[in-house]
Amino acid sequence: MEAARPSGSWNGALCRLLLLTLAILIFASDACKNVTLHVPSKLDAEKLVGRVNLKECFTAANLIHSSDPDFQILEDGSVYTTNTILLSSEKRSFTILLSNTENQEKKKIFVFLEHQTKVLKKRHTKEKVLRRAKRRWAPIPCSMLENSLGPFPLFLQQVQSDTAQNYTIYYSIRGPGVDQEPRNLFYVERDTGNLYCTRPVDREQYESFEIIAFATTPDGYTPELPLPLIIKIEDENDNYPIFTEETYTFTIFENCRVGTTVGQVCATDKDEPDTMHTRLKYSIIGQVPPSPTLFSMHPTTGVITTTSSQLDRELIDKYQLKIKVQDMDGQYFGLQTTSTCIINIDDVNDHLPTFTRTSYVTSVEENTVDVEILRVTVEDKDLVNTANWRANYTILKGNENGNFKIVTDAKTNEGVLCVVKRG
């Protein structure tokens, strides 16, 4: 019994160690790295705040939730406001909750909103520059939101050369948006390297700018190679999706099968491709006559199909649909446009011609030929003046000697009985 105690104590300690390790692992996997978004002091409702890389935190998430109802998170990581927000001098934060409903795994991303800009100190001369060296520049390519409300000038980032650690460096930039059209859009502070934008930019006009940054000493020497700097203009959902036609017209045969393709509609959106701003959803929002519902529309492709085989041209020969396209994958705050779709129901030969009378009586003088002696009429509910409606008359009995013939009047569709030879 005494020999068993160390084993029991060791097993207990091992279990506690495993539990502690497991608890630490579970706790560590719960939260991902923090994200800071720089925003203006006022955020309007239903505006893009920024994007968070959700896949980097949790690739298997199928449920996304925000801890703050003032913010909505889309599946691509876009953060949108749901209400107008005024930021105080302090940071505002919220949590993005990611979870997998199948295995119950959960992750968190802490998001901080900040509108203060950092004060940057100037540099001072240390000693004379002896030679040019290839050094490390900062920053990496930056971005700004199109149609920004400012305030302007809007700070973008700091251009910095590591030679400024020892020497006085003056910064300058050239290229599109600086000394080329659109001129004076960007400028850099000579002493600090702070890069600014002076006014709003439309991404649909300029997707990005590639400017060249220079670092020189006061005497004009260039210790650095010029730095190509890309400024990407981030898309805002500021363009409505537009149908390619104001009115679509399609034709389909009556009595067709369920699922028959009627036609396809299409819309375009000038916002950035392959983003939520250009992810379109189609739908039918109205039908005339309204009942019953006879058509459906694929939300992604815009293909219209039939949902009933009871299309009867003789009852209704035309339907009018009001259709809608909405971006943001069809979410309620997406921009939307409507159009009209006319569906004509074409005729099929589904009605028998019927005589309007069951018997006719007529007379003719003897020895008369090539004269009309009788007209017979039929009813046919198929489309008038088509092959489905046009009657073809035949004498089945009583004309064994060929004294009579019957032809169709092309205008009235009547059968015209004539004498063609003497009896």
pLDDT tens string, the chain, 423 residues long: the values are 333 444 444 444 434 433 333 333 333 347 788 888 877 778 888 787 888 888 888 888 888 889 998 898 888 888 888 888 887 766 788 999 988 888 888 889 999 888 754 443 344 443 443 344 444 555 667 889 999 988 999 999 988 887 787 778 999 999 999 999 999 999 999 999 999 999 999 999 999 999 999 999 888 888 778 889 999 999 999 999 999 999 999 999 999 999 999 999 999 999 999 999 999 999 999 999 997 899 999 999 999 999 999 899 989 999 999 999 999 999 999 999 999 999 999 988 888 899 999 999 988 888 888 899 899 999 988 888 888 889 999 999 988 888 899 999 999 999 999 998 876
Tell me, yes or no, whether 378 and 316 share the same domain: no
Among residues 196, 212, 234, which one ends one of the domains? 234
Number of domains observed in the structure of the chain: 4
pLDDT (0 to 100) of residue 198? 96
Q: What pLDDT is recorded for position 95?
A: 92
Beta-strand runs (E) in 74-118: 78-81, 85-86, 92-99, 106-114
Whether 297 is in a domain gets the answer: yes
Cα(325)–Cα(341) distance, rounded to whole angstroms?
A: 13
* 337 shares its domain with 362: no
Q: What is the pLDDT of residue 370?
A: 86
Say if 410 falls within a structural domain: yes
- The token duo for 249 is 């017209």
Same domain (yes/no): 340, 404: no
- Is 130 within the bounds of a domain? no
Residue 85 vs residues 74, 116, 169, 182, 421: alpha-carbon distances, Å: 19, 16, 40, 32, 99
**Residues 342, 246 share a domain:** yes
Residue 57 pLDDT: 87
Looking at residue 423, what is its pLDDT?
63
In a domain, 273, yes or no: yes
Q: What is the signed CA dihedral for 190, 193, 194, 195, rounded to 10 degrees? A: 90
Q: Which domain holds residue 316?
A: 242-346
Model pLDDT, residue 396: 92
Burial of 8 by CB count in 10 Å (0-12 exposed, 13-18 middle, 19+ buried)? exposed
Q: Is the same domain home to 74 and 37?
A: yes
Q: Which residues contact 299 (CB under 8 A, 6 or more apart)?
A: 281, 282, 283, 330
Of 306, 328, 346, the residue at which a domain comes to its end is 346
Q: Among residues 346, 380, 403, which one ends one of the domains?
A: 346
Q: Residue 158's closest CA among 119, 184, 124, 131?
A: 119
Hey, how many other C-beta atoms are within 10 angstroms of the C-beta on 259?
A: 10
Asked whether residue 180 is assigned to any structural domain, the reply reads yes
Q: Which helix (H) or strand (E) holds 389?
A: none
Statement to judge: residues 253 and 317 lie in one domain: yes
pLDDT of residue 137: 59
- Residue corresponding to tokens 């509609």: 265
Q: Is residue 312 part of a domain?
A: yes
pLDDT score for 55: 85
Which CATH number fits the domain that encloses residue 313?
2.60.40.60
Give the pair of three-digit tokens for residue 139.
């920053």
Are 177 and 250 members of one domain?
no
In a domain, 173, yes or no: yes
**Which pLDDT value is given to residue 226?**
87
Strand intervals (E) in 100-200: 106-114, 137-138, 142-145, 154-158, 160-161, 170-174, 186-188, 194-197
